[in-house]
Chain A
Amino acid sequence: MIEAAVEGLLGILHWKAFALMLVGILISSTLVAMPGIGSKTAIALLLPVAFFLNKFEAVALIVSIWAVSNTANSITSILFSVPGGGGSQATIMDGYPMAKKGEAARALSAAFTSSAIGGVIGAFVLLAAIPVLRPLVLLLGPPEFFMLVMIGVAMVGALSGKAPLKGIIVGAFGLAISMVGVHMLTGIYRFTLDQLYLVDGIKLVPMTIGLFAIPEMLYMASKGSGIADVPLGDLGRGRRQGIRDVFEHWWLVLRCSMIGVWVGIIPGLGSAVADWFAYGHAKQTCKGARETFGTGDVRGVISVDASTNAKEGGALIPTLAFGIPGSSTLALIFGGLVTVGITPGKDMLTRDLDVTFSMIWLLIIGSILTSILCIAFTRQLAMATKLRPTLMIPMILAMAVIGSFAAAGHFTDVLVMVGFGTLGYFMRSAGWPRPPMLLGLVLGPIAERYMWTSVQLYGLGFLVRPGVLVILGLLLLSVFYPYFQDRLMRRRDNRGEA
């Protein structure tokens, strides 16, 4: 095993493989920072090049794009409230308010540092997991997976502190939107209103861009000044403070990284879930977070970025153990690697163990290099928050329409983006939280699949399996905990006043 680890490291440190890794990092950091263009687009662009490379070179180029994509995703989320990709939606919640308070440099450098550490932790967990992979995942069946997904949905309660009931309703709205399109189990069309576009369902990218970017543009226009309300202050100091924040909250980084790894292990879940799980966890467990999260608390940024990058290490676990790609991006990566003779599954733990190790090394080196690169440009990025809205709005609007269109090449996606933008504005004005809708859309199909499989296998008896009951307890705790805590605080306040 040590021999394979050394061989894997030497393979990617060869000058050609290393140069290709740098190319991958640069391309990924640039493209992924643009809304709507995810790592899948970048990988798809470079896949044809892999045909002409040996296995280490191909791995260096393709895997580096994937390994660093979550880091650059946070840039537009923090600066413009436009999510760069699936894993950067929750970054907005505290990253953007920090930018508004003139702390963009601190938020960015905290996000980048946390992302690097998360990536490294994810890689080490993967390394440690290699000998014990199979029993870990086989512990759980569809009923337990269903309940785990439901915990994710229940998080909406915790995520919607001011109005938990509204949060849960909006989460259900997201679940309902996810039902639109071809039903995967029967093949019938559900809620498509005889529209061809709706057969594929409502897509996450235009909906996300619409829900977040349009209302923030409207906010910027209504107040008539740039994103940052106050002077940016000493950007160098903000950058150093962001790095320090991560190390001061090392325990949070570790916990959220482990959440990311766990979400990555479960096939079908992805960055878009890992970020909300970590954010919800941080909000429930960090001291005073219920009052400060959502207003620009750096812990909200740190938790999210650590988990989304750590998730990648976890996502490799089912891929290596069972040949089941942990995410659609991994499926694309392995589609490309098959062409250079690398097959996912048990071969990667035996014959191609050196390649597996080269991927783990890439996760570590790529995460660190990308964060250093991004931190180096934090100053320039933070300056963008001082631009006048008259300069920002047309550029963000252009980015929003291109990002929405780029996801699938449908003009209707632009209309969907505008529609959800309008809805997002009215939701904000009426006090309905927007994020639970995204979580519902992402988790909906997974929840339905696991629910139906559980009913088929065990009938309604699946609800009383021991694993399910344990998870159900956790679920109830996450739903009712905010109410209990609020009641407790109110009682304490009343006692204080008396």
Chain B
Amino acid sequence: MGMRFQPRSLLTLLLIGFFIFIVVESWDMPEKARMYPWVIGLIALALLAVQLVRELMPQREEAPRETRETGADMDFTEEEASAEGRRRTLELFGWIYGFTLLLWLIGFYLAIPAMVFLYLLRYREGIIITVAMPSVAGLATWGLFDQLLHLPFPPGVLFEWLGLV
């Protein structure tokens, strides 16, 4: 029975890298600061080694891969794993990263209503909703979070570059 690398083991390898960093980085720290990272890091590395071996070893037919209980997390569904599901997921990732970039560039007051407007436009919602929802989002951002709660929203670097703030 040979070992077989699966893409899902990438996360295990990333975690191994992370804990190696924790142990190595704390090497030169004083004892007080070093003790806890070592205890946690070394235990985690031992457990990760077991996990990696389990992932690489082929599964025996009769043994269930994991216990039969329900987990503490929601299962990844077939809809999500399908080609259409992955395409939609990828598109939403694009929206999330694009929105974050927009927040940085033009600030919260403009980016939030702009994102809501563009998203509704992309999915061809009715004109009333497409106009009303961004307006409500913009008003809530300004009225509730700025005027009432005084959240220090950054103005957006674009305006700083242009010398407008």
A-to-B contact residues, CB < 8 Å: 37, 41, 45, 93, 96-97, 159-169, 172-173, 175-176, 179, 183, 185-186, 188, 190-191, 214, 217-219, 221-224, 290-295, 390-391, 393-395, 397-398, 401-402, 405-406, 409, 411, 414-415, 418, 421-422, 425-436, 447-448, 451-452, 455, 482-483, 486, 489-490
Contacts and interface: CB of A to CB of B under 8 A. Distances in A.
A490 B125 CA distance: 52
User: Which 9 A-B pairs rank lowest in CB-CB distance, beginning with the nearest?
Assistant: A161-B69, A162-B71, A222-B85, A172-B44, A390-B123, A290-B69, A294-B70, A159-B72, A430-B8
B67 interface: yes
Q: Is the interface of B mostly helix, strand, loop or mixed?
A: helix
B71 A190 contact: no
Interface string B77-112: 101111011101101110111011001100010001
A186 B129 contact: no
B11 interface: yes
A40 to B, nearest CB: 12
A35 to B, nearest CB: 12
B70 A190 contact: no
Contacts of B81: 429
B5 interface: no
B154 interface: yes
Contacts, number: 226
B96 A486 contact: no
Given A165-B50, A391-B133, A405 B108 contact: yes
A32 B129 CA distance: 27
Given A390-B123, A391-B125, A185 B33 contact: yes
Contact of A486 (B22, B69, B119): B69
A448 B39 CA distance: 10
A411 B50 CA distance: 39
A160 B22 CA distance: 24
Residue of B71, B81, B91 most packed against chain A (CB within 10 A): B71
Contact of A432 (B11, B26, B123): B11
B66 interface: yes
Contacts of B40: 172, 175-176, 179
Contact of B100 (A398, A418, A452, A490): A418
A176 B116 CA distance: 36
Interface in B38-72: 39-41, 43-44, 47-48, 50-51, 54, 64, 66-72
B72 A395 contact: no
A218 B72 contact: no
Interface in B118-165: 119-120, 123, 125, 129, 133, 137, 141, 145, 148-149, 151-154
A448 B33 CA distance: 9
Contacts of A489: 68
A428 B75 CA distance: 7
Contacts of B99: 397, 401
B89 A425 contact: yes
Contacts of B151: 402, 405-406, 409
Nearest to A90: B72
Interface of B: 8, 11, 15, 18-19, 21-22, 25-26, 29-30, 32-33, 35-37, 39-41, 43-44, 47-48, 50-51, 54, 64, 66-74, 76-77, 79-82, 84-86, 88-89, 91-93, 95-97, 99-100, 103-104, 108, 112, 115-116, 119-120, 123, 125, 129, 133, 137, 141, 145, 148-149, 151-154
Given A402-B145, A483-B67, A393 B92 contact: yes
A428 B74 contact: yes
A175 to B, nearest CB: 5
A434 B73 CA distance: 7
A304 B5 CA distance: 39
A133 to B, nearest CB: 31
